[in-house]
Amino acid sequence: MRRGAVDNTRSVNPPPPSIPAAKKLTVTTTPNNNNNNGTNKNNDNKKLLSPPAAGSDEEEEEETDISSSSSEGEDISWISWFCGLRGNELLCEVDEDYIQDDFNLCGLQSQVPRYDHALDIILDNDPLSPLPADVDGEQNNETESAAELLYGLIHARYILTHKGLNAMHEKYKRVEFGRCARVSCSGQPCLPVGTSDIPRGGSVKIYCPKCEDIYFPRCKYQSNMDGAYVGTTFPHLYLMTYPSAKPAKPVQTYVPRIFGFKVHKGVK
């Protein structure tokens, strides 16, 4: 009975005060949940570390957005803007050093109205003599049209120089001037040409070096361009400067037939 009494007292006695109940609970649960606690701690650490990482990514995205927006918002030159317009793919960007040389612009002042203001627009310069305050929108449009005319006439001169021919040669290699529509030419790259050197004397045309004929551009926007912006000399001087660009003439020629018989050349 003493042993039983001793056993009863042992079972009834409360836990030692030196070991709190919470510690007992943690001690009893640790053997089964060591791995889980480690993973939970790692997860907690990840949770604590994840907000700064997300914030840094957002900051990087914001920086990239700001940089992209700033790059998009950067001012481009008037020349780059004008050559990038739809329908002006036949034009190249004229070097500003060429435009700033007065010798290269000799004789253009009498052909372009508001010459000084038009030149300032092309070079993105602040006009020395600003327009009057009473200038309306119509007169402002006339000044912009004068800048377009002046740049086109300068362009016709520039593409006859070494730098201009080289710039047009790069566009020709990229087939930016289009291809010939004739079947026998097999998609031969073409060159722009004007039928007159006088402004408003005719629209720009496309010259095929293979069949040696001219056509209207396929793009309706290019058909509105003045042919004087290219001139009558460019394609022929270009082929003399770059002989390798001149293709061989087509071997086969189309022969018209009626019921299998050739049509006589004298028949109209």
CATH 3.20.20.70 holds for 178-245 = no
Q: Which pLDDT belongs to residue 135?
A: 56
Residues 99/103/104/106 CA torsion (nearest 10 deg): 110
CB 231 within 8 A of CB 194: yes
**Which of 80, 237, 97, 233 is CA-nearest to residue 166?**
237
Residues of the chain with pLDDT under 50: 1-12, 19-56, 62-71
pLDDT of residue 138: 72
Q: Which CATH architecture has domain 79-164?
A: Orthogonal Bundle (1.10)
Residue 200, sorted as left (phi over 0), alpha (psi -120 to 50) or beta, turns out to be left
User: Tens digits of per-residue pLDDT, 75-111?
Assistant: 889 999 999 999 899 999 999 999 999 999 999 999 9
How high is the pLDDT of residue 13? 53
Q: What is the pLDDT of residue 203?
A: 94
Domain ranges in the chain are: 79-164, 178-245
Q: Is the model's pTM score more than 0.75?
A: no
Distance in angstroms (rounded) separating the CA atoms of residues 122 and 68: 27
Max Cα separation, the chain? 145
| 79-164 and 178-245 in the same fold | no
